[in-house]
Structure 1
Amino acid sequence: MSVVMSEMDMESSSAFSPSEPDIDSAFVSKHNQSAEIYQSFKDDVDALLAGKIAAHDQPAFIQRILHKSESLLIAFEDEKQHLMSDVLLAWAIKQQRASIGTLWTQQLHYKQLDTIHLQFEYFGELLQQTLSGLNYLKQYFPNSGFDEMHSKLVSLVHYFLVLGGSAFGLDNLGEGVQVQCYLITDETAKQLLNNAYLEIFESEEFAIEPPTGTFQKKDTRGLRAKFDDMAIVETPQKNSDGPSIVQPRMFTMNAKQHLINRLKPNQQGFIQLDNFMKMPVAEEYQLKKSSTTDGEWKLVPFYEWFLKLAEVVNKYLYSMWYDGLIFGFCSKEDAENLLRSIPRSVLLVRFSDIEYAKIKISVKDRNGEIRHHWYEHTDLNARSLSSELLANQRFAQIDLIYPDIDLEVALGGREKPRIRVPRNLEDEIYFDNQAAATSF
């Protein structure tokens, strides 16, 4: 029995979670509560295995251990629910948004998996220690209650085979093993977005068909499951190479104020979630099925309008956005006022407030006349916006990009039109001399 006790003592050395600043306080509280119940459970198991309980007292003592194991299961379920919903699912949903952002925002968000892995590691370790104790009880004190409790705890294990898997020896045995991983898929995320996050916990698993992941060793920090649909950068050519992370251009205060006003905050300055998820702010013309001309206008909520613009910028306009050539979020009236404040001819590139995924070019020409042009984001497949601004005669007489950026310098210069001029013909003496030059 002393060997059994020493093994359990060694296993329980790190039951309590350390007070690390990167781990959320809710998890620390829940995990330490689980650890306290486990410690009481372990003390009773140690006493029983060490022979400290008289034979006539053992039945009642075993019932006491079973009661504590039930309390421990409830605590584990609560901790599991927090990790799966408040931590992992929240990360996965946010990842869908970060996937259309810049590489910098994606990389920053993706690094949070290290912290999530650590949280699952703590929980997985405590779960493994509890299962180990129940195994000893099943071996030395056979009881249907221990069998039932062991079975219930084993049902939790599949959640932690990917994250926190080293507690089960996966870091030594699992490299290259194919597993079914319960992480959210892109398709599930789309359904959640369409459902505005309502009733998302009806199913324990947050995946329609769990994707297959392969365990891979990463340095000495445990195992991760590699999911192709969550990949954010291609594998560098060399181990020493890494992706170039560029800090994105931040929103100006004017842009932030414009977006906040569109979300209609209340008198206390708070924005309702429904305003972000459901409030219509733009329109999109959609063709009816089997028609090339007949369609109808569809209202677009704020989140869809905003995220589509982020996608358009990332796909077509990233360089211009990063270089400050796109003003961005601005109403038509504000754009006209800004253009009037500039004495020279100038244009301003902005996002349409009312038409879904359209780019607006507001222009003030040399006569002071203001006009507005628009482009579908699909138009940018054929020609980049910078090329359009240089080549289109609508913008030929424009000197600046708001506020004072020389258009030709910023975009590379316009192509000069070819001016047709008469050929410079040789005089008559040249032709007269050709006969002499070629005669023998």
Structure 2
Amino acid sequence: MTATSPRLKHEVKDLALAPLGRQRIDWAGREMPVLKQIRDRFEKEKPFAGLRLVACAHVTTETAHLAIALKAGGADAVLIASNPLSTQDDVAACLVTDYEIPVFAIKGEDAETYSRHVQIALDHRPNIIIDDGSDVVADLVKNRQHQIADLIGTTEETTTGIVRLRAMLKDGVLTFPAMNVNDADTKHFFDNRYGTGQSTLDGIIRATNILLAGKTIVVAGYGWCGKGTALRARGLGANVIVTEIDPIKAIEAVMDGFRVLPMSEAAPQGDLFITVTGNKHVVRGEHFDLMKDGAIVCNSGHFDIELDLKYLASQAKEIKTVRPFTEQYILNSGKSVIVLGEGRLVNLAAAEGHPSAVMDMSFANQALAVEYLVKNKGQLAPGLYSIPTEVDQEIARLKLQALGIYIDSLTADQVEYINSWQSGT
């Protein structure tokens, strides 16, 4: 590592924050042994030499380890924030100062700055895009068709981003390979469930310091993120209501012991509302109107549009900040609604995001997905691809090995049995 060159382009809050960022990045690395092994291999093999890479991601201590691993592999990488409130400014400063990675990310950046950073990223003319939410890819498809020829492919690890990529595929505009990292078993089973579950409640508690025991918490969405959030909320003593649009997930929530209601029926009962759906206006005007005085709402999905905050603002006679990342909307009706983290990802706006132990597997998937795209350059038709099963299994194997946990393997007789239809009972 060397001191940053004065010619290195970047836009971060304050480079003087770098020493603190370095401490926090090192701390996170203690629980990221899988990504470290991948980084060590990349450093020797240089699989990304000569390639331009853009990462649009939450600029956290864990993301720092992914960026460092990709640069170790030879990538000419640029990093921008995927959400205006998810940047950790000390981490951004450290990546510029200690690792000479151009970073364009400031916690609290406005929409204009965020959009400008997307353009800066595309000006890099990426061969690979790592996208959280598919904003960079969507801008490329809509406004920079001439650059698609430079692109080997993209990776996406958010539910929201995968929804957008599937819509692009349906509309015939996904004209390049895209890796669906989100649906890898070693990603969504752990990152979405355990990471989102813990970090969401961490953000809520840091923002409010309320006691969750005895509260009625409404969790909108029972995908893997919703499952983790509901499970952790119940573990802290909350009474949990789940809302869903998918009948199968709704049955699963019922059989997991949760009450399932439409949002219109849950709205008058909830003390705290958490959206984790990836859709828009999950909590909207008619729901806000039904909420009790002092109800708290927050979002742990990728974009703030899960909450219809424009409607809420239109009904407010005053909006005031009562704690950091905690705003009270005092409504014309006389009651108030509390919004956390401006409706953005509460686990990153008000806390530090997922624990590094789960991001170790998520970012191992990201790193190996990039390598897969590069190794198969020119051989993959346009479309959305799953992480190969053998890659998923290898990440799990490496994680178990790092934890000092060992499992059984099949005997030759067992292998023969499960591969034969002639063997009976």
TM bucket, shorter chain: under 0.3
Q: Highest CA radius of gyration, 1 or 2?
A: 1
Structure with the largest fraction of helix: 1
Give the TM-score normalised by structure 2.
0.23
Higher percent of residues as strand: 2
